[in-house]
Chains A and B, each alone.
Chain A
Amino acid sequence: MQIVAKGLTYVYNPKSPFATQALKGVDLTIEEGEFFGIIGHTGSGKSTFVQHLNALVRLTGGQLRVGEYDLSEKKCKLLELRSKVGMVFQYPEYQLFAETVYKDVAFGLKNFRKGISEEEMQAAVREALAVVGLSYDEVAERSPFELSGGQRRRVAIAGVIVTKPEVLILDEPAAGLDPLGKKELMDLLHSIHGQWCKTIVIVSHDMDEIAENCTRAAVFSEGKVALCGTPQEIFAQGERLAAMGLDVPVTAKCAQILQRHGFSVRTDFTCTDFVQKVLALYRGEGGGAEDAQ
């Protein structure tokens, strides 16, 4: 499903002393199959934007098309749309409610596919738990509240992907995890990406995370898309990002300094690529140093 937003605007608490314009004309296209990153400060409008994608926030200004669904139409099939665009909120483990993991994961299925048979449901839950790296036989009948924090987050993600949404949106999926937990979670998302969910959109503050994982990204600032492109294109604009109060990945920071010393490293800013390009320079294969002179 391709996502196309044109001139999206949104105001919170209109006509009150606390009225705030969260979106001021967002134009953005996300293609099917992308691993898309959304960057921006708290209050830049990024959360409001992603909540538009499955109509949790209803369109009030501009145009938005998600696959075949036109969200500016009054009679847009909300339930169908939400089954195809899954949304994992920040700290999703805090939305678990059922007495067993099984019931919690099955919640979405029951809502979206009325009259689904018990066998089908069981098979789907088993598969979803397997995808997030949990064993059905071990956890299905346990209470979600007995599990560890990391496991609870996985259960919550399973509860969203169980309906096989085509687009999966995650708001700060790795927030609060320790470094290894973060890495495991990003690995999990890559394993979901492709056959299970065609498109993945993550909202993140962590520039290194964006550089390492995303095919493309958009930078939100003051309710608009300020920059959009591959991580390589975005993080090459360190000064513009700094002006917006945003950081760049460690690799980009390094590359900036090297540039100032006359060494140009043409990298996509992933660690692996950066190391290779620096090594190439060192071994005199890249010729970057000559370029810069």
Chain B
Amino acid sequence: MESIRSAPGQTADEAAPAAVRFENVKYSYEEDEGSFAVNGVSLTIGQGEFVAVLGRNGSGKSTLAKLINALLRPTEGRVTVLGQDTADPKLAFEIRKNAGMVFQNPDNQTVASVVEDDVAFGPENIGVPREEIGERITAALQAVGMSDFRFATPSRLSGGQKQRIAIAGVLAIRPRIMILDESTAMLDPKGRREVMDVIQKLNKEQGMTVILITHFMEEALEADRAIVMHRGEVVMDGTPEEIFARAEELETYNLTLPRAAYICKCLQEAGMPVGNAFCAEALAEEICRSLQKG
């Protein structure tokens, strides 16, 4: 099924390939075969999924992201994006059109000094006709809630706003997959919330496949699925609830629970009968239930 390549513009409903598929992928930054940043990953991400990728610094998360949109090509194994093999240099352009990527530092992604010119950069690159670029800019800015800033200077915006412009710049290419490589790491809580709201909307309303690489355990809770990377391998894969229920295992990978989940675990260990809870609201409810019984 993966071999079927959907031609541009053709909706390949009858043969919907996985959004992203890793088949025993290894990647090494160094020529000598000693260390692999990604070390034997097999993974399938379906279209429309919202996947969070967790792991310590240096666990291979960012390498994984760059392998998806052909910024890196696997040393071993195969990565396909909507059925297209990233190892084929001729397909890199198509793959990047399908899989957009937003990076960590909001300051290092803008090429232009005016917001609309920056958003136009992607469509210009893929040869969209002039009249259509304008429409795409309007739509992309609207999707990220930045329509009022079309003529603003990116350097005068807040971190969260800059990152939303970066997302708009990717959206204007009309990708089907959006990869966010620690795109919330440098933002304040407000900016983080803004970005999370935007990607939630893209996933829920437009069915965009979202791959969110993050340090913030709380953000993983908003995803449908969470993947934990450790030393280049995928060591855990499941719903965020399943992952956070396995606290001991997480700890061996040097990850912590979301704070609410941690409190919940402390209460459980002290013998209080509370069900698993991962956010403040659920935790409060569990405590209430337990207190009212007791």
Q: Which residues of A contact B (CB under 8 A)?
A: 41-43, 148-150, 175-181, 183, 205-206, 208, 245-247, 249-251, 253-254, 256-258, 261, 263, 271, 274-275, 278-279, 281-282, 284, 289
Please tell me which stretch of B91-99, B199-207, B240-248, B263-271 contacts chain A, meaning at least 4 of its Cβ atoms lie within 8 angstroms of it.
B263-271
For B262-294 the 0/1 string (1 means CB < 8 A from A) is 110011001010000001110111011011001
Chain A contacts of B284 at CB under 8 A? 253-254, 256-258, 261
* Bound Cα distance from A156 to B217, whole angstroms: 27
For B11-41 the 0/1 string (1 means CB < 8 A from A) is 0000000000000000000000000000000
Is the CB–CB distance between B280 and A178 below 8 Å? no
Is the CB–CB distance between B287 and A275 below 8 Å? no
Is the CB–CB distance between A148 and B288 below 8 Å? no
* Bound Cα distance from A174 to B281, whole angstroms: 26
Contact of B263 among A41, A181, A183, A250 (CB under 8 A): A250
Q: Is B188 an interface residue (CB 8 A)?
A: yes
Is the CB–CB distance between A279 and B267 below 8 Å? yes
Is the CB–CB distance between B263 and A179 below 8 Å? no
Given contacts A179-B215, A179-B217, A279-B267, contact A250 B280 (CB under 8 A): yes
Interface residues of B, CB < 8 Å — how many? Answer: 35
Chain B contacts of A178 at CB under 8 A? 56-57, 215, 254-255
Given contacts A148-B58, A179-B217, A278-B272, contact A41 B280 (CB under 8 A): no
Q: How many Å from the CB of A38 to the closest CB on chain B?
A: 13
* Bound Cα distance from A180 to B251, whole angstroms: 10
Is the CB–CB distance between B263 and A271 below 8 Å? yes
Is the CB–CB distance between B260 and A250 below 8 Å? yes
Q: Which residues of B contact A (CB under 8 A)?
A: 56-58, 158-159, 185-186, 188-191, 215, 217, 254-256, 259-260, 262-263, 266-267, 270, 272, 279-281, 283-285, 287-288, 290-291, 294
Given contacts A178-B56, A275-B266, contact A258 B189 (CB under 8 A): no
Q: Which residue of A has the minimal Cβ distance to B59?
A: A178
Is the CB–CB distance between B263 and A247 below 8 Å? no
Is the CB–CB distance between B259 and A271 below 8 Å? yes
Q: Max chain B CB contacts within 10 Å: which of A180, A181, A284?
A: A180
Is the CB–CB distance between A179 and B255 below 8 Å? yes
Is the CB–CB distance between B186 and A205 below 8 Å? no
Is the CB–CB distance between A254 and B260 below 8 Å? yes
Given contacts A180-B254, A180-B256, A183-B256, contact A275 B291 (CB under 8 A): no
Q: How many Å from the CB of A76 to the closest CB on chain B?
A: 32
* Bound Cα distance from A206 to B191, whole angstroms: 13
* Bound Cα distance from A205 to B283, whole angstroms: 23
Q: Which residue of B has the minimal Cβ distance to A257?
A: B284
Is the CB–CB distance between B190 and A245 below 8 Å? yes
* Bound Cα distance from A205 to B291, whole angstroms: 32
Chain B contacts of A176 at CB under 8 A? 185-186
